[in-house]
Every structure is written in structure tokens, then in C-alpha cells.
């Protein structure tokens, strides 16, 4: 193509916009291009999007950049609805509090702060309240924040209700569950609205490949009702959360590392599939005897192998891999509990406090991390301290099941856990009033980067 011919998509669109006498075409083009780019830019929000010819991922839209041949040959794999809320420049957006990752992660952290101290409240069944608030409150809000963030990238559509409205429903459900623990429907109705707000846009966009994840909040609503009615055992819930961490966390790490290697100009490595590890874990949980324990041990090694790929990665990805490695400790804890070497509550807290807690903080902290050129996301010092406090709290809580007297260790675990989430909140709450970064959970590209 000659030097006088338009060489950028921005140039072509600008000419058309001028001819039409308005900016409507330009804005529409930028929105469509941003929707396509959103399927590539954020590694968490787009684990499966690939260019049709297998070339490198597209960088953010830039009117001065040259559109690569790989972008021209892009063939969308799914129906993408326009994201009407994103600004045309794709960068300066509404405050973080209006985005799911902002408010839902904040609520999850607030729930985590009070979680160890429920035993001090005059509750009819503090044990069940602790389980419900930990798995369905803390874990459920974190999952909802992630899925609502990812859903907008999968479909390009806004949730049917405003983010703050959905967050209010989720918080109200948790308060109702504490006030009226036996009235399951009181907490289930608002949570059902949140679950359907995640599910319907995915169904409308026909993203059938994302349906298993989109159904998770609905599954949590059903599981909580079954727990209250004594139809399932509380011990099954940490195992289910462990399986979710294994599947989603494994894909997350692979996607983030692929994007990092692209940006560092390093050769790509084939991403490991998550289903073998998930299948092995399921086989180990359902099988008894040496066969089951062997399968769980192999799954733990598979998790460690995945986490090891983050050695030498940028700080945020390294933090994520460290957190993911704690799932291996949880799986080995199940093995130890089966052979009588560890009390059941100790292995439960290895999965909940250790694996779930550290993974939530490693993902949620990305929203408030510093964005540094050529280094990606840079965790704050308080993020690292929060992660290590969670590890310390997990260790103290497990020792409390072994050592006697255990009251001092229980108190230490509770203080360390709550302090970790207060540190997280000190950074996250300050970021809520700031414009939401783009991508939310990945580092911003330089605007001068060629396309």
C-alpha cells in the first residue's frame, strides 16, 4: 500500500466521519474496536479469545498506530454486544465504585474482616453462620465481582441492574441470613437476582463456553439452601471452592502469563489445560483408599507445576502464582486428614483461609495496584503484607486444631486474618473514587504502542 493511502483504521473512520458531518461513525467505530480489543487486552476477562490467524494479540486502539494484518483478518467467534458505558477513549472511565470489581471486592473484604469474630455474637448457630458467611458471603461476593467483570468482556453487555443495586442485594442477603438463618428464601431471593444478572447476558450473547462459570452463583444459591436444610454437608463446600480455584485460577494464570510474555517479547509456551487437574481432583475426592489419596497427591503436584510457571514473572503475576500454590497445600491437607495425620478442620481451613483467601486477595488487589510501564502491575507493599498475613493466619488456625490450649492461637489467627483484609481495604477503598483503570485486572498498555 502506498504512503499516500490511508494506513490506519482511525484515518479511514475520520474521513468517513467528516463526510457524514458528525462524530457518530467515529464513536461507533471506536466502541466496536474497543469491544474487540477488550476480548484481548485483559487476560483475566478474556481467557479464550485468540486472533483467527494465531498471531499476536491486539493492543489498545490508537489512531496513530498501524493496524496489523492479523487485526484485519480477525474473525469474531461470538456475538459481541456493544458496551455502551465504556468511554470512546477506552481509558478514562467512571469511578471504580460503579464497577463490579470495585464494590463487590470491597464487600468481600469487609465480610472477611468480621468473619473470625462471629463467635462473639449471640447467634443461634454460630458455626453454621460462620460457614455461610465465609463460603457464600466472602467467597460468593468475590466470585460475583469477578464474574460480573468478566461477563462484560465476554458479552459486551451491561448487567440488567446497576452494579450498586446488585451489591446492595448481595449485602442485604447476608444481613438477612444472619438475622433469620432458618428463613432460607429471605437470603435466596436477592442472591437469585444477582445470579440471574450474571447468567442472562451470557445466555443472550450465546456464550455457551462460559455457561459453566456463569452458573456458579446460581449453584451457590442452591447450595446454601441445601446446607440450611441439612441436605449437604458443610465439609463438601470447601472442596467445591477448591475445584473452582483449580479451574479458574489455572486458566487465569495461563492467560496472564501468555500476555506478559507477549509484552516482554519472549517466545510463547503452550498453556496447560485445566481439565486434567480438575478431573484428577474429582476422582481423588470421590475415591477412597490409596487410589483416592494418590489422585489428590498428583493433583497437588499438577497445581505446583502450574504455579511454578510464574517464577520470574512480573510481580502481580508472581503474587497470583504464589497464592495458587496454596491450593496444593489444601489438597495435601485432605490427604493428611484421610490418613489421620491432620484434623479435618485443619484441612478445611487450608482450603478456605489458605487457598481461597490468598487467591481472592491476589486477584482483587490487582484493581488498586500501581501500573508501571515495562513491569505491568506492581503490588503495593500493603498487598504483599496482606498476603503473608493470610498465610500466617492460616498456619495459626491449623495449629489451633493440633495444639492445646488453642485459644491464643485462634485469637492470633483472627487478628492476622482481619488485619490482612484491613490492609487490603486501605488501598482498595481509596481507589473506589478514582476512575476505573482499563483493563481492570491487567496492566494498561502504552497508548503509543503500535497495533
Pairing of strands 376-378, 370-372: antiparallel
pLDDT of residue 124: 86
pLDDT in tens, 158-214: 889 999 999 999 999 999 999 999 888 888 999 999 999 999 999 999 999 999 999
pLDDT in tens, 115-141: 999 988 888 899 999 999 999 999 999
What is the Cα–Cα distance from 37 to 77, expressed in whole angstroms? 13
β-sheet bridge partners, residue 376: 372
User: Is pLDDT at 382 greater than 70 in this prediction?
Assistant: yes
- For the chain, give the mean pLDDT: 80
- Give the best-scoring range by mean pLDDT among 25-34, 35-44, 243-252, 261-270: 243-252
pTM, entire model: 0.77
Determine whether 220 is exposed, middle or buried from the number of CB atoms within 10 Å of its CB (0-12, 13-18, 19+): buried
What is the Cα–Cα distance from 119 to 370, expressed in whole angstroms? 37
User: Is pLDDT at 308 greater than 50 in this prediction?
Assistant: yes
End-to-end CA distance of the chain: 17
At 50, the pLDDT band (50, 70, 90 cuts) reads very low
pLDDT of residue 292: 92
What is the Cα–Cα distance from 274 to 48, expressed in whole angstroms? 13
pLDDT in tens, 235-291: 899 999 999 999 999 989 998 998 888 888 888 777 777 888 899 999 999 988 889
pLDDT in tens, 77-116: 433 333 333 454 444 578 999 999 999 999 999 999 999 9
User: Is pLDDT at 23 greater than 60 in this prediction?
Assistant: no
Determine whether 229 is exposed, middle or buried from the number of CB atoms within 10 Å of its CB (0-12, 13-18, 19+): exposed
Amino acid at each position: 500500500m502506498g504512503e499516500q493511502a490511508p494506513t490506519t483504521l482511525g484515518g479511514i473512520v475520520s474521513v468517513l466521519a467528516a463526510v457524514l458531518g458528525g462524530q457518530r461513525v467515529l464513536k461507533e467505530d471506536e466502541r466496536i474496536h474497543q469491544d474487540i480489543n477488550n476480548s484481548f487486552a485483559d487476560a483475566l476477562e478474556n481467557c479464550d479469545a485468540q486472533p483467527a490467524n494465531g498471531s499476536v494479540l491486539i493492543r489498545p486502539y490508537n489512531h496513530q498506530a498501524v493496524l496489523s494484518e492479523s487485526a484485519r483478518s480477525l474473525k469474531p467467534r461470538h456475538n459481541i454486544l456493544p458496551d455502551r458505558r465504556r468511554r470512546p477513549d477506552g481509558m478514562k472511565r467512571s469511578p471504580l465504585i460503579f464497577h463490579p470489581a470495585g464494590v463487590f471486592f470491597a464487600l468481600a473484604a469487609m465480610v472477611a474482616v468480621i468473619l473470625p469474630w462471629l463467635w462473639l455474637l449471640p447467634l443461634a448457630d454460630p458455626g453454621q453462620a460462620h460457614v455461610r458467611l465465609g463460603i457464600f458471603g466472602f467467597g460468593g461476593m468475590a466470585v460475583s465481582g469477578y464474574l460480573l467483570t468478566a461477563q462484560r468482556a465476554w458479552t459486551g453487555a451491561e448487567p440488567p441492574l446497576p452494579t450498586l443495586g446488585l451489591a446492595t442485594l448481595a449485602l442485604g442477603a447476608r444481613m438477612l441470613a444472619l438475622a433469620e438463618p432458618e428463613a432460607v428464601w429471605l437470603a435466596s431471593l436477592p442472591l437469585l437476582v444477582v445470579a440471574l444478572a450474571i447468567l442472562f447476558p451470557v445466555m443472550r450473547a450465546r456464550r455457551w463456553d462460559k455457561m459453566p462459570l456463569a452458573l456458579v452463583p446460581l449453584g451457590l444459591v442452591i447450595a446454601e439452601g441445601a446446607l440450611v436444610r441439612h441436605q449437604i454437608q458443610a465439609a463438601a463446600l470447601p472442596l467445591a471452592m477448591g475445584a473452582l480455584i483449580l479451574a479458574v485460577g489455572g486458566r487465569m494464570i495461563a492467560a496472564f502469563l501468555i500476555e506478559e510474555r507477549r509484552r516482554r517479547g519472549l517466545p510463547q509456551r503452550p498453556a496447560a489445560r485445566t481439565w486434567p487437574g480438575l478431573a484428577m481432583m474429582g476422582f481423588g475426592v470421590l475415591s477412597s483408599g490409596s487410589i483416592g489419596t494418590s489422585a489428590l497427591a498428583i493433583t497437588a503436584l499438577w497445581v505446583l507445576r502450574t504455579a511454578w510457571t510464574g517464577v520470574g514473572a512480573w510481580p502481580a503475576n508472581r503474587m497470583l502464582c504464589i497464592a495458587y500454590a496454596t491450593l496444593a497445600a489444601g489438597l495435601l491437607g485432605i490427604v493428611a486428614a484421610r490418613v489421620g495425620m491432620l484434623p479435618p478442620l485443619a484441612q478445611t481451613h487450608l482450603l478456605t483461609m489458605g487457598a481461597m483467601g490468598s487467591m481472592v486477595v491476589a486477584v482483587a488487589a490487582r484493581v488498586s495496584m500501581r501500573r508501571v510501564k515495562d513491569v505491568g502491575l506492581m503490588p503495593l507493599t500493603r498487598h504483599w503484607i496482606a498476603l503473608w498475613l493470610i498465610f500466617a493466619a492460616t498456619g495459626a488456625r491449623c495449629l489451633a486444631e493440633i495444639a492445646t490450649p488453642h485459644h491464643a492461637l485462634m485469637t492470633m489467627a483472627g487478628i492476622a486474618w482481619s488485619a490482612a483484609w484491613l490492609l487490603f481495604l486501605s488501598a482498595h477503598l481509596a481507589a473506589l473514587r478514582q476512575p476505573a483503570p482499563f483493563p481492570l485486572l491487567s496492566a494498561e498498555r502504552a497508548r503509543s504502542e503500535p497495533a
